[in-house]
């Protein structure tokens, strides 16, 4: 065997070893989940779980989905054990990602059946809430995609969301809903421009710049909320954009209420994801933006203005985050509360990573986190024996699990986080 062939086979063998080790880890996790489902969700569980697939006022009313809780969870445990055992067999590594994804979905289904045993649960209502709660996370992730595709790490998404929420409440109280929405988008774009100036022109550390913006926005909004809004309550009483149903599409069972009977922010998020996908992957401007994120010096030699491209994309990302921030006030309660974003900007970053720096991927990941968020709200109504504090942790636990399990598989743009100095 020649030295060249030895060099070529070594990385391949190392990669195969890594995949086999990962497959065994996933196998252990799946078998552990099978044991959990049997002992906690299966043993002693009696009664039927009834899931509502429609509401009485829907055009087409579907019968409830009734599932015998105990037998279902025993079958779920058997499937988990099979998937886990398969990971130890030859060729199991090829299906590791699919197996763990199916296993997690089955575990969640078993948990839902256990929590709903002997009760009734509106599945369509939870799916509708999932879409609503995924909106700020999806828009935060989309803001991160637009920034990191041009190699600017945007840790300030949380601050931009909070600024959008605050401005939406304040200006919405003075100018109405549309005025507040426009102001939230503008303030988000302003903070995006400030971030671009700090990291592109002055080459400040991108992480520090983002943290500074987050702390600044948190301090200003907290002060105004406690000192000004407490005394002048009329400044914190904005109108809320109500849901409206799209004719025909909104009448589709299950999917209709989830996608086509929502408010402006849900429709806006879906449209922005589609527009961003088309912009980044099907236009020459998007190609230029991605080239700046992958190899800015090569892009510069081809005549692309690296600085201007980064300014534009980071400002656009800030505007998207400002729109997402307005959801907290103009899309839900109509008033601003201190630190009401609750870390959704950071979860948006996790959604961006899990979604592999793609707008559609970020939306898909946001739906996972939105599902966890809506799940803890719905389970509180079912009065499960799980303490409410643990239920409130569900979105953040989902973030840890998803990022810990999949972040190693994602590859950011090659120049991500690196300042560019034109020669």
pLDDT at 241: 95
Lowest mean pLDDT among 114-118, 195-199, 341-345: 114-118
Span 148-154, average pLDDT? 96
Which carries the bigger pLDDT value, residue 317 or residue 125?
317
On the question of pLDDT at 392 being above 90, the answer is: no
pLDDT of residue 106: 92
Element (H, E) at 396: helix 394-406
8 Å CB contact between 71 and 33? no
- pLDDT tens-place string over residues 400-419: 776 666 555 668 899 998 99
Q: Which two tokens stand for residue 395?
A: 């979105």
Half-sphere exposure (Cβ direction) of 35: Cα atoms closer than 13 Å: 8
CA 392 from chain centre, in angstroms, equals 17
Give the pLDDT band of residue 171 (cuts 50, 70, 90): very high
- DSSP string for residues in 109-155: HHHHHHHHBTSEEEHHHHHHHHHHHHHHHHHHHHHHHHHHTTT---T
| pLDDT band at 19; cut points 50, 70, 90 | confident
Bridge partners (DSSP) of residue 67 are 49
State the pTM of this model: 0.89
CA distance 73 to 43: 9
Residue partners of 10: CB distance under 8 A and separation at least 6: none
The percent of residues above 70 in pLDDT, for the chain, comes to 92
Looking at the structure, give the CATH architecture of the domain made up of residues 124-409.
Orthogonal Bundle (1.10)
pLDDT recorded at residue 117: 86
User: pLDDT for 57-106, tens place per residue?
Assistant: 777 888 888 999 889 999 999 999 999 998 887 666 677 778 888 888 89
Helix or strand run (H / E) with residue 364:
helix 359-382
CA 195-349-333 angle, 5° bins:
90
Residue 223 contacts residue 342 (beta carbons within 8 Å): no
Q: Quick: pLDDT tens for 289-342.
A: 999 999 999 999 999 999 999 999 999 999 999 999 999 999 999 999 999 998
Q: How many CB atoms lie within 10 A of CB 24?
A: 16
Give kind and range of the element (H or E) at residue 48: strand 48-52
Reported confidence tier of residue 2, pLDDT bands at 50, 70, 90? low
CA atoms of 137 and 370, how far apart (whole Å): 8
Task: Quickly state the pLDDT bin for 1 (edges 50, 70, 90).
Answer: very low
String of b and e for 361-396 (b: at least 16 CB within 10 Å)?
bbbbbbbbbbbbbbbbebbeeeebeeeeeebeebbb
Break the chain into its structural domains and give their ranges: 17-118, 124-409
The greatest distance separating any two alpha carbons of the chain, rounded to the nearest whole angstrom, comes to 82
Question: Residue 247 has what DSSP assignment?
Answer: T
Mean pLDDT value across residues 28-46: 88
Report the distance separating Cα 304 and Cα 302, nearest Å. Answer: 6
pLDDT of residue 192: 97
Structure tokens at 331: 């899309």
Q: Return the pLDDT at 377.
A: 76
Closest CA to 148 of 215, 196, 93, 197: 196
**In whole numbers, what is the pLDDT of the chain averaged over residues?**
88
Q: Is the pLDDT of residue 359 over 80?
A: yes
* Contact (Cβ atoms closer than 8 angstroms) between residue 241 and residue 330: yes
Distance CA 92, CA 405 (A): 17
């Amino acid at each position: 065997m020649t030295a060249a062939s030895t060099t070529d086979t070594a990385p391949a063998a190392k990669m195969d070893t890594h995949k086999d080790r990962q497959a065994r880890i996933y196998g252990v996790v799946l078998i552990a989940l099978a044991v959990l489902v049997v002992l906690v969700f299966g043993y002693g569980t009696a009664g039927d779980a009834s899931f509502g697939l429609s509401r009485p006022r829907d055009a087409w009313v579907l019968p409830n989905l009734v599932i015998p809780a105990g037998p279902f969870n025993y079958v779920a445990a058997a499937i988990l054990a099979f998937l886990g055992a398969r990971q130890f067999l030859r060729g199991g590594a090829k299906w590791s990602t699919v197996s763990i994804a199916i296993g997690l979905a089955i575990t969640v289904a078993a948990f839902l059946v256990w929590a709903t045993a002997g009760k009734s649960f509106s599945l369509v209502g939870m799916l509708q809430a999932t879409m609503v709660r995924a909106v700020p996370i999806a828009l935060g992730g989309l803001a991160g995609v637009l920034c990191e595709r041009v190699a600017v790490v945007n840790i300030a998404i949380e601050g931009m969301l909070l600024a959008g929420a605050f401005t939406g409440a304040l200006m919405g109280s003075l100018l109405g809903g549309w005025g507040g929405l426009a102001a939230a988008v503008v303030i988000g774009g302003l903070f995006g421009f400030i971030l671009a100036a700090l990291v592109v022109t002055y080459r400040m550390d991108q992480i520090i710049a983002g943290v500074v913006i987050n702390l600044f926005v948190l301090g200003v909004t907290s002060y105004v909320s406690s000192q000004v809004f407490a005394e002048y309550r009329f400044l914190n009483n904005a109108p809320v954009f109500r849901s409206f149903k799209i004719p025909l599409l909104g009448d589709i069972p299950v999917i209709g209420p989830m996608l086509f009977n929502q408010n402006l922010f849900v429709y806006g998020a879906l449209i922005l994801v589609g527009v961003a996908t088309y912009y980044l992957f099907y236009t020459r401007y998007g190609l230029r933006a991605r080239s700046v994120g992958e190899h800015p010096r090569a892009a510069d030699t081809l005549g692309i203005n690296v600085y201007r491209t980064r300014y534009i994309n980071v400002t656009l990302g800030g505007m998207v985050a400002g729109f997402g921030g307005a959801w907290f006030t103009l899309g839900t309660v109509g008033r601003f509360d201190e630190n009401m974003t609750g870390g959704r900007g950071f979860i948006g970053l996790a959604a961006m990573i899990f979604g592999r720096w793609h707008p559609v991927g970020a939306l898909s990941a946001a739906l996972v986190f939105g599902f966890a968020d809506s799940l803890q709200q719905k389970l509180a109504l079912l009065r499960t024996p799980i303490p409410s504090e643990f239920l409130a942790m569900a979105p953040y636990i989902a973030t840890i699990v998803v990022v810990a399990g999949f972040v190693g598989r994602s590859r950011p743009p090659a120049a991500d986080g690196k300042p560019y100095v034109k020669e």
